């Protein structure tokens, strides 16, 4: 793998993405729709997370929750490399529902960095199972439950998500449902029943992002889905509400560290 490369691996499971990277890329604050868990292989990084600033080095397991605002920058000049698995939320929800015997399925990772050899080993086995030449669904399912169990531990590594105030939820849902719409702050404020200042302040407190940054995040996530389905880059940009393809490309690279064209070649 060459310096600065992000490799999307063929993954033998629907709703799961496997990624390897070796990069100096500095990620701005952003979110993912999926749960992410991985292991730092070489180098180190510092990042903002839902639990504040953290650092991770070789052998550390790193996690991120859907919608959790985070960033990432290398520590030192050498960059860092990692392996990651990203899971669509229903996969984790179903596993946790099973593990808790139906008591709950709505959880978050509590620790953005985990220094535990058991978790690291479980992740490495699961990553190998997902990317094997001949995937074995039974082995994948067993190893996923093992990884989540090792990550949960006795101190509740998963916690229930905090609820979002109803007025903010209304504005957030408008963006979620129609990310290609050119909303104004007054549109969102009027729908939520708040003035613009209170809406802005409440939105940042609830999501960690301003409405504009959140809207751009949702657009780039929509574009990623469309590209993965085989839509052309131009069609994905237009359908996601971007002014042009170059705007989509800039945000795509900032968020994912890979160009939309490279992503399309890996996924199709």
pLDDT above 70: percentage of residues in the chain: 95
Best CA proximity match to 111, nearest among 165, 49, 160: 49
Residue 244 gets which letter from DSSP?
S
- Strand, coil or helix: what is 81? strand
Reported confidence tier of residue 217, pLDDT bands at 50, 70, 90: very high
Contact between 79 and 43 under an 8 Å Cβ cutoff? The reply is: yes
pLDDT above 90: percentage of residues in the chain: 75
Structural tokens at position 235: 């069609």
pTM, full prediction:
0.83
56 sits in which H/E element? strand 52-56
pLDDT in tens, 101-151: 887 777 788 899 999 999 999 999 999 999 999 989 999 999 999 999 888
Phi, psi of 100 (to 5 degrees): -100, 10
89 sits in which H/E element? helix 89-99
- pLDDT attached to residue 257: 86
Phi, psi of 17 (to 5 degrees): -120, 135
Sign of CA dihedral 125, 94, 100, 69: positive
Q: Where in the chain is the domain with CATH 1.10.10.60?
A: 166-267
The strand pairing partners of 232, in sequence order, are none
pLDDT at 159 > cutoff 60? no
pLDDT at 99 > cutoff 50? yes
Assigned fold of 166-267: Arc Repressor Mutant, subunit A (1.10.10)
What is the CB-side half-sphere exposure of residue 176 using CA atoms within 13 A?
Answer: 9
Q: Where in the chain is the domain with CATH 2.60.120.10?
A: 5-159
CATH superfamily of 5-159: Jelly Rolls (2.60.120.10)
pLDDT at 259 > cutoff 50? yes
What CA–CA distance (Å, rounded) separates 68 from 108? Answer: 9
């Amino acid at each position: 793998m060459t310096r600065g490369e992000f490799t999307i691996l063929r993954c033998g499971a629907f709703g799961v993405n496997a990624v390897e990277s070796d990069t100096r890329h500095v990620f701005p604050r952003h979110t993912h729709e999926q749960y992410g868990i991985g292991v730092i292989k070489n180098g180190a990084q510092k990042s903002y997370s839902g639990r504040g600033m953290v650092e991770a080095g070789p052998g550390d397991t790193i996690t991120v929750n859907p919608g959790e605002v985070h960033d990432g920058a290398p520590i030192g000049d050498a960059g860092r490399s990692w392996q990651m698995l990203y899971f669509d939320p229903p996969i984790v929800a179903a596993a946790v529902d099973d593990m808790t015997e139906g008591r709950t399925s709505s959880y978050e990772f509590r620790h953005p960095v985990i220094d535990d050899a058991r978790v690291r080993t479980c992740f490495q086995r699961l990553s190998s199972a997902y990317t094997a030449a001949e995937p074995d669904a039974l082995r994948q399912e067993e190893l996923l439950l093992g990884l989540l169990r090792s990550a949960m531990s006795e101190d509740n590594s998963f916690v229930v998500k905090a609820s979002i105030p109803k007025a903010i939820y209304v504005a957030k849902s408008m963006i979620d449902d129609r990310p290609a719409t050119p909303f104004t702050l007054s549109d969102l404020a009027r729908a939520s029943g708040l003035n613009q200042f209170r809406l802005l302040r409440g939105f940042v407190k609830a999501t960690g992002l301003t409405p504009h940054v959140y809207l751009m995040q949702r657009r780039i996530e929509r574009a990623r889905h469309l590209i993965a389905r085989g839509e052309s880059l131009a069609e994905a940009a237009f359908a996601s509400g971007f002014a042009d393809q170059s705007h989509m490309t800039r945000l795509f690279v900032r968020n994912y560290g890979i160009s939309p064209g490279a992503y399309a070649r890996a996924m199709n």
